[in-house]
Structure 1
Amino acid sequence: MIDSHAHIYLKQFDEDRDEVVGRALDNGITRILMPNVDHETIEIMFEAEMKYPESCMAMMGLHPCSVDRHFERALYEVESWLGSREFVAIGEIGTDLYWDRTYWGQQQEAFKIQMAWGAERDLPVVIHCRESIDETIELAESLQLSAYKGVFHCFTGTLEQARKITGMGFHLGIGGVATFKNGNLDEVLKEIPLDRILLETDSPYLAPVPHRGKRNEPAFVRLVAEKIAGVRTVGLDEVIAETTQNCQRLFGIK
């Protein structure tokens, strides 16, 4: 299995990061893909990648919650890093209207710029869209989609939204929310082809049942796979095999 989205470099793991990575390996997680947030997370993300080179792979991008009136300065640093070494993806990027719309214009501009970088470098984009799925779909539709590939991470939307996203060629990142009673993702998991689905945790956030409310970690991605298998009435091995292949194809990893 591959956890396609985990922030295991954050301080929530400082006391037991070795054990967390060990539990992931024990549960069959061969790769942990780490999205960047902003300039404050770059070095600690690199440290995790260097310490666990067989497991952890870094992305590079500017998270929408870190976009403000000075976002061009932050994007300059992201672009500089993209030109200096290899990354598995550009991310995480996107939009976020959970708090307010203060920097909505800047978020849209940062999103378009980073999407263009993905196309130029033939890298997948990892898209965040909290409380802004429709707006992000509309933004993506306004771009030359044949040049883009990636995933709408932590998908929590409707079947109609899922079909629009996959119809554009993107994948859906499915995590712990799928296991919540109020997650409302069963219909999506039944109807969307398995070859459009990636497993993720978004660790340390959004832990699946029965760990809801606690710190999430990559080992729990197995619980997400079990949920998908149950909803689709297929074997767990089938879900694991296909979602792993999806990740390998999208991110160009083994």
Structure 2
Amino acid sequence: ERSVSAPSPGSSSTSTFTPPAVAVAASPSSLDLLVFSCSPASSPLPAAREELQQLQQLIRCSHVTSSGTAEMLRLSLLNTPPVWFLFSGHADVQQPHARAAAATADVATPPPATLGFTTAEGTLSAVDPAQLASVVSSCRRLELVVLNGCCTSGLGHSLVDAGVPVVVCWRTRLADGAARIFSVSLFHALQRDDAKHAPDRYARAFAQARAAVEFRENRDGRRVWQLRDPDTDLPV
């Protein structure tokens, strides 16, 4: 889930995985950025709309949608393959059959969470995370996938294992406002002329996005969010 309230200090962290990138020829019908911004009617994300508008203005060759199913994603990746893909929305959605299986299991193991896509009516739509990883990784032009939702590290690892060169995801819950700042700052950094051909462009853009979140202050001059490793440096 992508939370609409700010987390307590030290409760958010990001993860990146960067195996060697593979150069792929660009398609003439391709995009720089594909965005699926999924804000369900049952649990809306107020910052998602602003995030969507800012990215559309920032990236000239982009396609953004305020709703979309996994099948729409498959077709978009097939017909207009992007260099970058951003999912923005709830990401700890459980499929109904997975919840039912977990409820009847002898061992209390939570079912795997997945991305929460939305229909045109705003209804949540979930798909098996293994199938999702297969669909996304089949787009060979992809250089970067950003999973801008809560607790997406499991799917992030699956995407890297399937061959996606660079994945940015979250190990913890994520405040809605912080998610907007992070993604807009990340893609703004990638659009800079001095970054377009830099070998470390993704690492540098990630650092800029992280700093944009960490240095955001409220009217009293206090930091709004903190990004920390929840396993090692959370205050006790």
Q: State the TM-score, normalizing by the size of structure 1.
A: 0.31
Write 1 or 2 for the structure with the bigger share of strand: 2
- Which structure: greater helix fraction? 1
Task: Using CA pairs under 8 Å that are at least 6 residues apart, name the structure with larger relative contact order, 1 or 2.
Answer: 2
